[in-house]
Structure formats: C-alpha cells, structure tokens
Structure 1
Amino acid sequence: MTDTLDIADTLVAGIEAGERRVLARLITLLESTRTDHRATATAALDRLLPRTGGAVRCGLSGPPGVGKSTFVEALGRRLTGAGQTVAVLAVDASSRRSGGSILGDKTRMPTLARDPHAFIRPSPASATLGGVARGTRDAVLACEAFGFDVVLVETVGVGQSEVAVADVVDTFVLLVAAGAGDELQGIKRGIMELADVVAVTKADGEQVAAADRAVADHRVAVHLLRRRHPGWEPPVLACSAVTGGGIAEVWAAATAHHALLAGDGTLDRRRAEQATAALWAEVRDRLVGDLLDHPAVVAARPDVESRVDAGELTPTGAADELLRAFRGA
C-alpha cells in the first residue's frame, strides 16, 4: 500500500509539473490489466480530479479509409497554430488472436507528433466492445488534469465503436467519405443519430462534386432523424485535410455545439451520466473477470461449454451452472 501511495504521489507531482513522460506513464498504468497498476493509477487520478473538466472532449469516428488520422492531424495543427494545446487519444485496431496492435498513429500524424503543443497517445483497442480501449475515459481525465485545452478521441470505425466513443466525449463528429449514395447506405441509422457534426472528407480535386452530392444527401438524412439536443440540427460540412478547406468550419461547428451544451447545463448532466455509466461498466467488467478466474468456474467451464456446443445444454442452463459454481451453491 505504501509503494502504491508513493508512486501515486510521484505521478500527481509530475502531472502538476507538466512532465509529459509522467502523463504517458499514468495512461500506461490506467490501461494496464494488472491490479496493482490500476490501483496506483486510480489513486493518482482520484487526487487529480479537481484539475479535470476544463477541456473540450471531441470524438471522431468513421468507416476505415475515410481519412480519420489525416483529418485529425490537419485539425490538430490548426488548433495548435491558434495557440491551443491538443491531446489525441487514438484507439488502434488490435488482433483478437495475437492481441497485437498496429499503434501507428504517430507515423500517420508525423507533423503533429513533433508539435510541442500536441500529445498523441495510441492505445490498443483489444477486445473491448466497439474498439474504445478500457481506460480511455480515464485517459481523457488524465489529459485534462495535465492541462490540455482539447482532447480528441479517434477510434477504429468498426461496428459499435461510434457508440462507444460517444459515451466518453461531449461532441461527436462523424466522418464520411465523398461518394454520397453508397456511403449513406452503409451508415446505420443509430450511428447517424449519434452525430453532432457530420464532415464529408476528401472534398478536393476530382472529388469536389462528389463531396457536394454527399453533403446534400446527408443533410436530408440528418433532417429526418431524431435530434439528440433540442435546438441543434447536426450540420453537414465538406472538408479536405489536403487543402485545409473546411477544417475550420467543422471545428467551429463542433465548438458551437459544445457551447450550446455548456450554456444550458446539458454538458454537466451528460458528463455525470457518462461517469455513472462508466462506473457500472467497470463493475460488470470486474465481476465477469472474477467469475472467469474463479477456480470452480475454471474447472467447470470446459464441460459446460462442450455440452452447449453439442446441443445438450441451453446457454441459459449453462449460465446457471457456472453461476452456481461461482457462488459455491
């Protein structure tokens, strides 16, 4: 316990002193699956909570190939050029077989990675639902405690990742590629309903006309959807990370949405609801982990699973058996 508190003291002091290597270490501990690492990081973060809450938390997601990293670099450079500090939490794809991840975001954002006013942190998504790594919410808080003005969370665009990122940010920007009809067909209604801003990327060169059509089509789609917040219809804007065109307008829309939430109290309520949801998600994760590690469950699991596979036992009946083993009944 003493070691945990001593390390937590060092982490807190380092964050307060603006030491980036300490921020990186804190996030590493927050993402760790080791109990002692998590305990140390949590002790530090609990003490840093009064320093959090001041950043604009913005999530960015979209299908693979839409140019998320290129967009983030262009946006990040514009923000740092305007005197703001930016943290980028780039949740990377992981292999379910090997557990390895590409973690190449610093390579994909070479200029921003060298910017002294920016901090890029790639995190493996592992098997967490939706691709948002366990600990991403805590990493956002760590970056806020460090003093960053803006925290961008970029996620893999696979299935439920958009839903997951929307649960840890204030404003959600959905990136879609120029091409209109085909892309619109592939975007689920639920994901479109989460978007606070829609940005049509790669609106340059020969793609300008296609981008204009995509903007028109997505505006129609957005207009027909249920609004997340009264008085705010998500704008659909074209942009190009190559030319820089439209990047400022997309960010202006994102900050206008953030200001609207802050102005009527919705921002505080949303963050409180997100924190409570994260609490129970953590409880569920830990309970499942405890169950899977329980000796009686470990012993019973192979037989139970084989009977389910053979059609001799229903999943519900199998769950009952494992839970009885866990409870010692």
Structure 2
Amino acid sequence: MKSLPADTYVDGVRAGDRAVLARAITLVESEHPRHAALAQEVLTRLLPSTGRSRRVGISGVPGVGKSTFIDALGMHLVGHGHQVAVLAIDPSSSVSGGSILGDKTRMSRLAREPAAYIRPSPSSGTLGGVARKTRETLLLCEAAGFDVVLVETVGVGQSETVVADLVDFYLVLMLAGAGDELQGIKRGILEVADMVAINKADGDNKLAAAQARSQYRAALHLMRPGAEPVVTTCSAMEGTGIDLLWDSVESVIAQREASGALAQRRTQQQVGWMWAMVNDGLRAALRAHPDVAALVPCLEQDVREGRATPTSAALQVLGAFLPRTQA
C-alpha cells in the first residue's frame, strides 16, 4: 500500500472523506513496520477530534441475528439524524487466516445509507473477537464525525468480555425458545453486560421471548444484585422494540456521563489499551528473537513427547529472550 502524506490523512478524515478514512484505517491495520510511525502520527493529531461518540459493543449467540439487528438499529439511528459507523469483526480462519467479511451484504439497507459506514475487519484470532486495531479504527471513525460507533464482535464466549474494555455500553443479544435459556451465555458475559436483549420477539415467539426476559431478570438479580443490566425484547425483523432499546442505551450512558463514571471508564480503558499494546509488542519481539526461534521447534517437540514439562520449556524460552542478570 502506498501511503499518503500525514496532512492528507488528517485533513481527509476530519472532512469525513470516506475514501481517505478507508485508507487511514488500512494504514493503522497494516503490519508493515514503515507504516507504524505514520499511523501513530495521524492518530495523535486526530485525538482532539475523538471521544464524542456513543461507543456500543454488540455480541450474541450464534443465529441470534446480530447483523440484522445492527441493520435495524442503524436505520433507526440514521433516521434520527445520527452518523453511524459499524466496525464488524469477522471470524478469521485458523487455517488460512481469511475471513468472511460478509457484513455489508447482511446489512443491506444500512450499507446504502450515506450517513452510515460499515468497516469489516478480520479478527485474526484476536481474543474477544475484537480485531487488534479496532481501538484505532474507532478513533478514526470518531474523528471523521460519526457520533455512534457500533462494534459487532464474532460471537459469545468467555473471551467476549474483552470488548467491554473499549466501549461505553455492552449489549448482548439472546434467543428465546432455544432450550435452557441460560446455557447459551457465559457467566463472564453476564458480569459485564449492560443490556440483555432477546431478539426475534415476533409471531409465535413473542410469548417465549417474554418468558426468557423474566428468566434473565431473575438470574441477573441473583448474580448482580443492585447492578442488574437492562433486560428487554425486540424484533430486528419487524423493527419493534428498537426505539425503546436505544432509549435505554442513551439513558444509561447519560447517567454515567453525569456522574463522571463514563470519563473514568474511558480513562481506565486508555491505560488498559496501553498495556495491551505493550503485551502485543513483547509477544512479537519474543517470537522474532533469533535465539528463541532456534529453540522453539525442539522445545515444542520435547513437550509433545513428554521429555520436558511446559513450565521448564517456557523458562528456557524466557531465558533465551531476556538479558541475563549480572551477579
């Protein structure tokens, strides 16, 4: 990819130029070392133009209809004058590294809206279904003038709690009538969710959705007494319940703004982000270290065949990577 001058990125993003925004996102997603410094310069210069959006993470059990829901929610928001960015994290293949990247086809109405921008990104195996550069992409979208940023994650799992570290509000979509209502969601998700919404509450499924809502409310009251998330129902297909759902999202975020909790949350997220980048950098440096690279194949074989314990092998890797302490 041929880079643009930093001024072109900064001015283009601030002007809301979609073509420049797309290239800026590609720049921050790049793994090429020569792009890193330019990407950080662009982000640093754009920081004063960030922080003014509603950041909402959306997860859900398989088959819950996340993309259809986001399409309906996005259309509702656009209809009320919002500029909406959707960061759709697609599952990457563990074999080829490729991803589906089909969200634009699943959000057909929203994809045609001038006030909306959908950016699919491969998760590349990142914990929590959040692409490693999702945070930077979110900042770029804010600087481009989007006042609502929706982060759609890969799917529910214990690691999905990672998304809570970069959004203001975390919404989990669930289904009714799929067996044990509490089996499809992990405890870790329940502990960080700000809202549980039972989707597909339409037709013959309305009664089952209402029953599921009661079950979740009872379970969450026991698990998080005094801090229960909102539990509601909606139908993305019919568009019902979407307006009340978003009103609840706005109400919770507004309360956090007024109390100072939102500012504190974002500050903590920034520090967490810093350490996440440190950890990523250390892992990359360890893997690239020539002494480690020479050791790893033999050590892995020794662990597989029982000649070495994982702990002793890990200590050898660290010993090759870290400088020896002088006595």
Q: TM-score range by the shorter chain?
A: over 0.9
| Cα distance in structure 2, aligned partners of 1:322 and 1:189 | 34
Q: Percent identity?
A: 56
| Cα distance in structure 2, aligned partners of 1:144 and 1:225 | 35
Of stretches 167-176 and 309-318 in structure 1, the one that deviates more from structure 2 is: 309-318
User: 1:180 Cα shift?
Assistant: 6.7
Aligned to 2:222: 224
| Cα distance in structure 2, aligned partners of 1:215 and 1:117 | 33
Contact in 1 for aligned 2:158/2:188 (Cα 8 Å): no
Selected match of 2:281 from 286, 291, 302? 286
Contact in 1 for aligned 2:157/2:186 (Cα 8 Å): no
| Cα distance in structure 1, aligned partners of 2:39 and 2:255 | 33
User: 1:225 Cα shift?
Assistant: 2.0
Selected match of 2:160 from 149, 157, 162? 162
User: 1:160 Cα shift?
Assistant: 3.4
User: 1:179 Cα shift?
Assistant: 1.8
Contact in 1 for aligned 2:221/2:228 (Cα 8 Å): yes
Aligned to 1:121: 119
Unaligned runs of 5+ in 1: none
| Cα distance in structure 2, aligned partners of 1:212 and 1:40 | 52
Aligned pair in 2 of structure 1 residues 188, 241: CA closer, same or farther (>3 Å)?
Answer: same
In the alignment, does 2:231 pair up with 1:233? no
| Cα distance in structure 2, aligned partners of 1:75 and 1:91 | 17
Matches within 5 A, 1:16-35: 16-35=14-33
Aligned to 2:141: 143
| Cα distance in structure 1, aligned partners of 2:48 and 2:159 | 29
Contact in 2 for aligned 1:180/1:215 (Cα 8 Å): no
User: 1:7 Cα shift?
Assistant: 2.3
In the alignment, does 2:249 pair up with 1:257? no
| Cα distance in structure 1, aligned partners of 2:276 and 2:38 | 20
Selected match of 1:174 from 172, 175, 184? 172
Unaligned runs of 5+ in 2: none
Selected match of 1:186 from 170, 181, 184? 184
User: 1:233 Cα shift?
Assistant: 3.2
User: 1:226 Cα shift?
Assistant: 2.3
| Cα distance in structure 2, aligned partners of 1:177 and 1:27 | 34
Aligned pair in 2 of structure 1 residues 159, 271: CA closer, same or farther (>3 Å)?
Answer: same
Contact in 1 for aligned 2:91/2:125 (Cα 8 Å): no
| Cα distance in structure 2, aligned partners of 1:119 and 1:111 | 12
| Cα distance in structure 1, aligned partners of 2:185 and 2:156 | 11
Q: Cα deviation per residue 1:162-204 (whole Å; 9 max; x = unaligned)?
A: 2011111000011001227523123122211111111100001
Contact in 1 for aligned 2:46/2:143 (Cα 8 Å): yes
Aligned to 1:318: 313
User: 1:9 Cα shift?
Assistant: 1.8
Of stretches 152-161 and 136-145 in structure 1, the one that deviates more from structure 2 is: 152-161
| Cα distance in structure 1, aligned partners of 2:323 and 2:52 | 47
Q: Which letter does structure 1 place at the counterpart of 2:297?
A: P
Q: Which letter does structure 2 place at the counterpart of 1:201?
A: N
| Cα distance in structure 2, aligned partners of 1:123 and 1:285 | 18
Q: Which letter does structure 2 place at the counterpart of 1:199?
A: A
User: 1:158 Cα shift?
Assistant: 4.0
User: 1:280 Cα shift?
Assistant: 0.6
Q: Cα deviation per residue 1:285-325 (whole Å; 9 max; x = unaligned)?
A: 11111111111111111111111112111212111111222
| Cα distance in structure 2, aligned partners of 1:72 and 1:41 | 29
Contact in 2 for aligned 1:181/1:214 (Cα 8 Å): no
Contact in 2 for aligned 1:180/1:210 (Cα 8 Å): no
Contact in 2 for aligned 1:179/1:213 (Cα 8 Å): no
Aligned to 2:238: 243
Selected match of 1:7 from 5, 8, 20? 5
Structure 1 runs of 4+ aligned residues shifted over 6 Å read none
| Cα distance in structure 2, aligned partners of 1:38 and 1:135 | 12
Aligned to 2:199: 201
Aligned pair in 2 of structure 1 residues 185, 210: CA closer, same or farther (>3 Å)?
Answer: same
Q: Please give the secondary structure, in 1, of the residue aligned with 2:208.
A: helix
Contact in 2 for aligned 1:31/1:38 (Cα 8 Å): no
Aligned to 2:292: 297
| Cα distance in structure 1, aligned partners of 2:9 and 2:30 | 15
Aligned pair in 2 of structure 1 residues 287, 102: CA closer, same or farther (>3 Å)?
Answer: same
* TM-score for both structures, normalised by structure 1: 0.94
